[in-house]
Structure 1
Amino acid sequence: MSAPDALLLISTQCPYCPAMLSSLADLVKRGAIGRLEAVNLNVHPEVGQTLGVWTVPWLRLGRIELAGMRSPAELAEWAAKADSETGLADWFHMLLKEGQLPRAQALIEADPTLLAAVLPIVGNVEASLNVRLGAGVLLENFAGSDTLRALLPRLGELSQHADARVRADACHYLGLTGEAAARGWLDARLADEDADVREIAAESLESLPPAA
C-alpha cells in the first residue's frame, strides 16, 4: 500500500496545531506520508468553509478524516492503515463509538463504496451494542440497493461466523439485499443451533424473491 497524502487545517491561535504539524512532517520524512499540505484557516477560511470544518486541528489522511489533537503514535498508526479496509473500518468504528452516526451516514451516502468498511464491525464480537446498532443503521439505509447486493458474498461468510449474534445479524442483512442468491446461505441457517438465527433466517427468506 502506498503512503497516503495528508491535508492539515490549522489556525494561528490553535495551541495544538504546531505539534500536529511537526508530527506529520516527521512522518513525511520517514516516508509514512507521501505529501503534506497545511492550510492556515486565518489566511484561507474558504478552505474550511468548503470542507465544512470549523475547529482545528483537522486532518484528512488518505480518505480518513480526524478532528482534534492526535499524538505522534496515533498519527503513525492511522498513516500505516489509511485507506486500507482495516483503517476505514476502524475509522467508522470510532465515529459510531463517538456517536457520530449522521457523519458516518453522510460519508457513505457521498461514497457508497465505503459501505464495505462497515462489514468488519458486524463481524467484531467485541464491538459495543451502540456501535453494532449504528452499523446496522448504515447497512439498512442501503436495503435493496446494488451497493448492498455487491456485499452479498461477504455477508454470506459472516452468516457462518462462530458467534451467533454475528450469524443472526448477517442473516438479517442478507434478507435486506433482496437478492434470490442469498437463499443458499439462509437455507443453511434454518438448521442453526441458535434459535434466534433460525428465526431471522426464516424471516429473511420470506422477504426474498424465489430462486430462478
Structure 2
Amino acid sequence: MSPTPPDALLFITPVCTHCPSVLQALSELVKQSQVGKLTVVNIAAHPEQAAEYDVRGAPWLRLGSFTLTGAQSMAELKQWAEWASGDEGTAHYVEHLLKEGGYKQAVAFISGDTQRLKPLLAIVANPEANISVRLGVSALLEAYANMSELQALLPPLAELTFHFDHRVRADACYLLGLTGSVAARPYVEACLKDAHEEVREIAEEAMEKLAKKQVKT
C-alpha cells in the first residue's frame, strides 16, 4: 500500500515573484497524485489566515507537517512531498531547518510530536553530517534528558555504541548518559574500554551522570 500523499496549504501575494511557479508546480503534483489536496490563500484577501499560521512572507507552504518558505523548484517540491509521506523525511526536514538557522522551528516541530525524535538518530549515526546540524540535533535530544522520550531511544542508541566511527560512538555514549536509565549502564561501561580516547572520556562523564541520577532516585 502506497503512503498517503500530503496535503498542501500555500499562501501567496499578488506581487510575489516566486508564487506563480510554486503554485504551478504544486498543481502539477496534485495531478500526479503526489499531493492530495492544494489549498491556496491570497494573503491580501485573507490576512487573518496568514496571521493564524504566523506567515511572514510569500510563498509560504505547509506540506504535510513541513513548513517551507521561499522559492522551491518542481524537483524540490516533489522530493519534499515524498519525504512528507513517511518518517524518513523527518531527519531531512530538521536538517534543512538547522542549516537555515531555524533551531526554534526545529524545537517546535519536535515538540509537536516527540515520535519525531527517533528519526534524528539517522543524523547522529552519520559522522559526515554537517557539524552545525549534528550539534543542533544533539541539543534537540538533550532537551529530553532524563525523560521517557529519550529513554525510549535507548536500544538504538546502545546499538550506535558499536558504530565503526568513534564520533558516532562518542555521541551515542553521551546521549545514553542523559537517559538517566540504569539500563544504559552496561553500554556506557563497555565504552570505558573503547580504543579511542575521546569515547573513553565521554563514557566516564556519562557514567558520572548516570551515577548521580541513581543517587537522586
Q: CA 1:149 to 1:52, structure 2 compared with 1: closer, same or farther past 3 Å?
A: same
Write the mapping of 1:1-212 to structure 2, written as runs, cut at 5 A: 1-208=3-210, 209=214
Is the Cα contact below 8 Å between 2:5 and 2:85 reproduced in 1? no
In 2, distance between residues paired with 1:58 and 1:156? 40
Supply the AA of the counterpart residue of 2:124. V
Task: Give me the TM-score of the superposition, normalised by structure 2.
Answer: 0.91
Task: Give me the TM-score of the superposition, normalised by structure 1.
Answer: 0.93
1:91-137 residue CA offsets vs partner (Å, 9 max, x unmatched): 11111112211221222233323222322111122212211111111
Worse overlay, 138-147 or 167-176 = 138-147
Report deviation, 1:184. Answer: 2.2
In 2, distance between residues paired with 1:156 and 1:85? 21
In 2, distance between residues paired with 1:47 and 1:126? 41
In 2, distance between residues paired with 1:192 and 1:84? 36
Report deviation, 1:19. Answer: 1.0
Unaligned runs of 5+ in 1: none
In 1, distance between residues paired with 2:157 and 2:121? 8
1:14-72 residue CA offsets vs partner (Å, 9 max, x unmatched): 12111111100101111111111111111111111111111010111111111111000
In 1, distance between residues paired with 2:15 and 2:206? 55
Unaligned runs of 5+ in 2: none
In 2, distance between residues paired with 1:44 and 1:159? 52
State the number of aligned residues: 210
